[in-house]
Homo-oligomer: A and B are copies of this chain.
Amino acid sequence: MSLLVVGSLALDTIETPFGKAERTLGGSATFISVAASYFTQPVRLVGVVGGDFPKKELEYFEEREIDLEGLQIVEDGKTFHWHGKYDYDLNNRESITTELNVFADFDPIIPDTFRKSRYLCLGNINPELQKKVYLQMENPKLIVADTMNFWISGKKEALIDVLQHINVFILNDSEARELSKEANLFKAAKKIQSYGPKIVIIKKGEHGALLFYEDELFSAPAYPLESIYDPTGAGDSFAGGFIGYIAKTDDISFENMKRAVIFGSTIASFCVEKFSLDGTRDLSHLVIKDRFNEFTRFSAFEPAEL
């Protein structure tokens, strides 16, 4: 089924203790749409880039059958640029430069042909822009939104407004605690559900993810990665794998959403194994499926008698 992805496209410079990548493809919409493209077509992209955005990357999107009709190209502008540096344990990052450039004036206009998309994934952008997007949609079946601590502390009211209109909210554990003011994640999730979304997914990095689906709970394990090279885009890749599988199957039941969480975790695990988009740029159904099956092996156990 059709999936619309809205978010940022960026040229990132990333430093980790293991290396550096300069002006490499990044942004929430990039990671989400690439991840989703392994599951469903068409993936429709709405975002903005400058004239400096590499042509070969536009061609790459097209190869992955990502529909660029909604991509605004400001020829005399520069693409959003972020320069981040991770410390040794990769949990903390410092933003060395954030140049919004053409993204500063981004007005997400949804092409008429995109407005009937059945699934909508709102990448991590200003919640006021997220609202602008869903107001243009014509009765989508499911809206998924991601966010980050920057909006929780800086645009909380706008974010709470967005939460009343979406179905699935994805955030990480520290964001969940900050937004809900609850240390306990199970309490935090219930409180966030009370703000609107019936479905809340809390990502816990090396500890996996929790899916709260109305009153139900699913606890997904983490993939046992011994080394993480670059965490950039892991959360977006999770969201993309998740919504991509949902859109492919057009099934929003709890049972199916569990599988979608595992596919999201799968794509995120590939993402962090290499720099930037290199981890997810060129996957195959075979390696995705194999890793999904590994998750089954890590978490399955048989019934027992007492």
A298 with B218: CB separation less than 8 A: yes
Contact of A289 among B208, B245, B302, B306 (CB under 8 A): B306
Closest to A89 in B: B183
The smallest C-beta distance from A256 to any residue of chain B, in angstroms, reads: 8
- Within A152-199, the residues touching B (CB, 8 Å) are 183-187, 190
Query: Which chain B positions have C-beta within 8 A of A288?
Result: 306
Complex-state Cα separation, A289 to B300, whole angstroms: 17
B219 with A299: CB separation less than 8 A: yes
Judge whether A128 is part of the interface by a CB distance below 8 angstroms.
Answer: no
Complex-state Cα separation, A255 to B293, whole angstroms: 17
Query: Which chain B positions have C-beta within 8 A of A218?
Result: 298-299, 301
Contact of A303 among B187, B204, B296, B298 (CB under 8 A): B296
Query: Which chain B positions have C-beta within 8 A of A245?
Result: 304
Judge whether A113 is part of the interface by a CB distance below 8 angstroms.
Answer: no
Question: Contacts A218-B299, A221-B219: A304 and B263 contacting too (C-beta < 8 A)?
Answer: yes
Closest to A219 in B: B221
Closest to A257 in B: B301
Complex-state Cα separation, A128 to B232, whole angstroms: 47
Besides A89-B183, A207-B208, A221-B221, 14 more A-B contacts (Cβ < 8 Å) are A184-B225, A184-B227, A208-B219, A218-B298, A218-B301, A219-B298, A255-B301, A258-B301, A258-B302, A259-B301, A259-B304, A296-B303, A299-B300, A299-B301
